[in-house]
Amino acid sequence: MNKNSFIFFCFLCSFQFGFSQTDYKDAAHIKTIILKPIATNSYAPIVQLGEKLWLTFDDLNADEHTYAYKVEHCDTDWKKSDLSQSEFVNGFAEDRIRNYENSFNTLQPYTNYSVTIPNETTKLTISGNYLISVLNEDDEVVFKRRFVVYEPKVTVGVAVYKSRDISFFNTKQSVEFTINTPNLLINNPSEEIIPVILQNNNWQNASIGLKPQFFRGEQLLYKYNKETSFWGGNEFLYFDSKSIRSSSLNIAKVELGEDLYHTYLFTNEERRNQPYTLYPDVNGNFVIRTLTGENNNTDADYSWVYFSLKTSQNLEGKDVFVSGNFNNWQLNETNKLNYNEALGLYETKLLVKQGFYNYQYVTKASNGSVSTHDIDGSFYQTENDYTVLVYYKKFGSRYTKVIGVGYGNSEKINN
């Protein structure tokens, strides 16, 4: 690589993949799955090698089942890599989950389980994509989650711009980034470096496969526009059920049923033709919390939360879902809205643990295409988080490393 000049336009196409968050549906009795770094106010399961992730979930059967976790190393496409367990873990890749506690003073009984990775039994030794599965006593998988482990070999600068395409100038955001490689010799960056761009840590619209457009000294420059464009979307809707007995933020009323509380949200109206309005959100994430206990993990109760949506457009041929990190961005029958002809509303109800939740309405057409802007519109002003993961597969290597992570936010968007 010539450090004193630009080598222009090593340009090939990028690809946008519709990676689903997982190809496995969560078991119905497993709720409130959280996989995140131990650090406060950190939601994305992305950690530096040696740092800890915290996994917690609730079993509504509340009978203290024995569960185990299993960690697998994956390629960039989230398929299991060819490595043996001894090549990516020191100790055991599978072990029993020993920390569990029953709920206290809740109408919905449950058992809360938790484990940290790495731990004394399982120590990860290499970077890359990982899949963690939780198995029951019969070795049946009850859920799976992804996480990424990186080693800081390169730094990444990320900037967010308005789209330069006049057709999407007011609706899309474009990500430009630079990978700095002062301490790493890369023989063929166009083939060995694989950047992935995530919006709000949602893998469903991840962008992967970009080649560097320019080389400048020890920098790889990615100055794309169209290929790195994302719909800006709209700020996430939200509700706060920390006080389960009374209405609060965006909650119209609360009723006590025969067994549980029923939380009715105000009816949401489509925002696609309304002006953009800024209000704070946590970009699709959620936080478990309760005002009636000291331990959120075991003292927070569950309630049935009722969602309703009024639309003026004809959504025939499209399904509508309520989505967010609380359900791992999955689109399935559990969170699908049904149309109530008598009321002219799309409706559904979900069993949700007390807390502060972000959510959005997503449509899915019969051809499989997913849209986050059919209902809520898309605005370049929307505040979104962007993450650039740098994957590195050296020629002849048997696995793909993750050698750097960069973060950007569209709050201060560039023109």
Q: Can you give the CATH number for the domain in which 351 is found?
A: 2.60.40
Backbone angles phi, psi at 191, to 5 degrees: -105, -30
Domain membership of residue 85 (yes or no) is yes
> CB–CB of 190/10 below 8 Å?
yes
Burial of 46 (0-12, 13-18, 19+ CB in 10 A): buried
In a domain, 227, yes or no: no
Residue type, 345: L
* Residue 69 CA to its chain's centroid (Å): 20
Record the tokens describing residue 1, joined without a space.
């690589």
Q: Give SS3 for 51.
A: coil
Flag whether 242 is in a domain. yes
| Ramachandran sector of residue 395 (left: φ over 0; alpha: ψ -120 to 50; beta: rest) | beta
Q: How far is CA 371 from the centre of its chain?
A: 16
pLDDT of residue 19: 56
Size of the chain, expressed as the number of residues it contains: 415
Q: What are the counts of helices (DSSP H) followed by strands (DSSP E) for the chain?
A: 2, 33
- Give pLDDT, residue 306: 98
Tokens linked to 320: 């509508």
For residue 115, give Cα distances in angstroms to 24, 35, 40, 325, 381: 21, 10, 17, 20, 39
**Of the candidates 41, 30, 62, which has an alpha carbon nearest to the alpha carbon of residue 144?**
30
Residue 262's SS3 state is strand
* Structural domain includes residue 232: no
Q: Quick one: DSSP state of residue 263?
A: E
Residue 12: predicted pLDDT: 37
Same domain, 243 and 366: yes
Residue 177 placed within a domain: no
Among 411, 390, 401, CA closest to 178: 390
Question: Do residues 100 and 112 lie in contact, with contact meaning Cβ atoms separated by under 8 Å?
Answer: yes
User: Mean pLDDT, consecutive 10-residue segments, the chain of 415 residues?
Assistant: 39 46 79 93 93 97 96 96 96 97 97 97 98 96 97 96 93 97 89 96 92 92 93 96 89 95 96 90 95 94 97 88 95 94 95 97 93 94 97 94 96 87
131 and 248 fall within a common domain:
no
Plot region of 105 (φ>0 → left; ψ -120 to 50 → alpha; else → beta): left
Conformation bin of residue 329: beta by default, left when phi > 0, alpha when psi is -120 to 50: left
* Residue 134 shares a structural domain with residue 241: no
Q: What is the pLDDT of residues 231-242, one digit of tens each?
A: 999 999 999 999
CA dist 318 and 239 (Å) reads 26
Q: Let me know: does 387 contact 190? Beta carbons within 8 Å.
A: no
DSSP string of 284-342, one letter each residue: T-EEE--SS-S-HHHH--EEEEEEEEE-SS--TTEEEEEESGGGTT--SGGGEEEEETT
Last residue of a domain, one of 340, 356, 371: 371
**What is the pLDDT, as a whole number, of residue 183?**
84
Using the CB atoms, write b or e for 205-224: b if 16+ within 10 Å. Answer: bbbbebbbbbbbebbbbbeb
239's tokens = 């509700």
Domain of residue 277 covers: 237-371
- Residue 239: per-residue pLDDT: 96
Does residue 389 form part of some domain? no
The residue from 130, 150, 170 where one domain ends is 150
Count of domains forming the chain: 2
Tokens coding 63 = 């009978």
pLDDT of residue 378: 97
Same domain for 36 and 144, yes or no, is yes
- Is residue 188 included in any domain, yes or no? no
Question: What is the Cα–Cα distance from 313 to 243, expressed in whole angstroms?
Answer: 35
**295 in any annotated domain:** yes
- Give CA 5 to chain center in angstroms: 39
Cβ–Cβ < 8 Å for 186, 193: yes
Q: What CATH number has the domain bearing residue 131?
A: 2.60.40.10
- 241/145 same-domain check: no
